Structure 1
């Protein structure tokens, strides 16, 4: 199997085949135009037209480190599994999965944010053919870089102390760290809970490059941001988890929007 399997799933067979062709062409362009990608031998591995076909292939072949181009609406029947359901299944099977949604239904975008799929891009079928191909090239480059870094460095842990006990938390699970109401402590909010420990924002800012300062009180993990409300100066991680950024850091927030294509701008 390819080092980075590429799987396409769209219920429209013609569109699925066209997307596969566009992906293969984009990879060829990438290898031709950039020496750093010259050794890539990847091509679309499997084209599916529904949830069951995709799941069957992934399980039978134990797919890991894959790149997945998924339509969100895989059936006209509302009770059937959709692309977001498929993405959730994929994430459980392939922790390094690079999810790209390619769909005509922009109304489903908020659903992917609420369910914290962690898609690296969201491409609308309403774009022109040339624009879609451009976006495919951009997102493939991002996906290959992400996978290469994951394989090279693995998942990294953030280390902190609670009393005398040394604790570790996967960097990917951390949403943000803020000043605590308790003096000389900080409050860390993660995907699975919250913890307070002795520390200060300035020291953590220097020692944890995956976190970015957005005010004197907050450090955020930009890879876990699902939306940014520029009017309210709010950074949103979940329906009930958000922080505010100060005006002095508005350019930092703009960089988040430019770099992380899955962030919704409100």
Structure 2
């Protein structure tokens, strides 16, 4: 997987050293997946700001020199970090500094870096620390992505509500335009939006028709002949003919039962 990396340091030699270490880290950290870094850099605050505006990084790893000028009061790595956090909610910020303790400043400004790497003449120690820190950054990004995928978010007015994706059984349209009904294991609720919108935002859910977005984990059985899905709460929804191939794939992945739902419905009646 490729990760965007941005380095801002007023010492070009420090930038080149960081790039060299990152090149080695690609090989060291490539285990279950191939790790690659797409690296950009700047040597001053203004160039860094322009680069960030042009690139619009998402889920980036940022190595920021705190002392970009003569002091840490104006246009410093702290200011750059504050800007980055507004533009990249998954940002992994790493301060590279000559000062051993800047935690109080970052606490007050709520910058939340994952580490401070102190510049040192011991290159081997610097390399080890940087590789370990990059490994933590990658782990954090994986964890963030997983948590985001497992969280269903929707708005009610100005409020944003979050629901564990596993609690959702399915979403379906209602007679009222742009209003959906969310069926959960713990109850029901209405929300504004469209099936296509929430399908695009939630890769863990499956669009089985124009009117239904389902959680595959909460399907009990699929009837390919009648094109019907039985959910764990007993509800039945019809899926589109165009979804038959995907339904076969879900049958293989989740090992649902394939009993004929039509016969079950007849017996209930």
TM tier, smaller: 0.5 to 0.7
Per-residue CA distance 1:116-138 (angstroms, 9 max, x = gap)? 11101111113621111111111
Instruction: Specify which of 118, 123, 126 is matched with residue 129 of structure 1.
Output: 123
In structure 1, distance between residues paired with 2:8 and 2:71: 17
* Cα contact 2:64–2:96 (8 A) shared by 1: yes
Which residue is equivalent to 1:214?
A: none
Which residue is equivalent to 2:221?
A: none
Q: RMSD over aligned Cα, in angstroms?
A: 2.8
Structure number with greater Rg is: 2
Which residue is equivalent to 2:32?
A: 36
Classify 1:53/1:167 alpha carbon distance in 2 versus 1 (closer, same or farther; 3 Å). Answer: closer
In structure 1, distance between residues paired with 2:111 and 2:150: 20
Instruction: Specify which of 25, 42, 51 is matched with residue 45 of structure 2.
Output: 51
Shift of 1:99: 0.3
Classify 1:22/1:145 alpha carbon distance in 2 versus 1 (closer, same or farther; 3 Å). Answer: same
Which residue is equivalent to 2:6?
A: 7
Which residue is equivalent to 2:140?
A: 146
Q: TM-score, normalised by structure 2?
A: 0.53
In structure 1, distance between residues paired with 2:8 and 2:103: 17
Q: TM-score, normalised by structure 1?
A: 0.53
Q: Is it true that 1:116 corresponds to 2:110 in the alignment?
A: yes
* Cα contact 1:72–1:108 (8 A) shared by 2: no
Unaligned ranges ≥5, structure 1? 158-165, 171-266
Classify 1:84/1:36 alpha carbon distance in 2 versus 1 (closer, same or farther; 3 Å). Answer: same
Unaligned ranges ≥5, structure 2? 152-158, 164-269
Per-residue CA distance 1:15-52 (angstroms, 9 max, x = gap)? 12111211221222222xxx224x22224x11111111
In structure 2, distance between residues paired with 1:65 and 1:95: 7
Classify 1:126/1:113 alpha carbon distance in 2 versus 1 (closer, same or farther; 3 Å). Answer: farther
Classify 1:40/1:75 alpha carbon distance in 2 versus 1 (closer, same or farther; 3 Å). Answer: same
Tell me the SS of whatever aligns to 1:149. Answer: helix
In structure 1, distance between residues paired with 2:72 and 2:160: 44
Which residue is equivalent to 1:20?
A: 19
Per-residue CA distance 1:37-81 (angstroms, 9 max, x = gap)? 4x22224x1111111111111111111110001110101156530
In structure 2, distance between residues paired with 1:130 and 1:28: 17
Q: Is it true that 1:75 corresponds to 2:69 in the alignment?
A: yes
Shift of 1:106: 2.4
* Cα contact 2:3–2:59 (8 A) shared by 1: yes
TM alignment of 1:209-220, pairs within 5 A:
none
* Cα contact 1:26–1:133 (8 A) shared by 2: no
In structure 2, distance between residues paired with 1:107 and 1:147: 25
Classify 1:48/1:154 alpha carbon distance in 2 versus 1 (closer, same or farther; 3 Å). Answer: same
TM alignment of 1:198-217, pairs within 5 A:
none
Greater RCO (CA < 8 Å, at least 6 residues apart) = 1
TM alignment of 1:80-91, pairs within 5 A:
80-91=74-85
Q: How many residues align?
A: 159
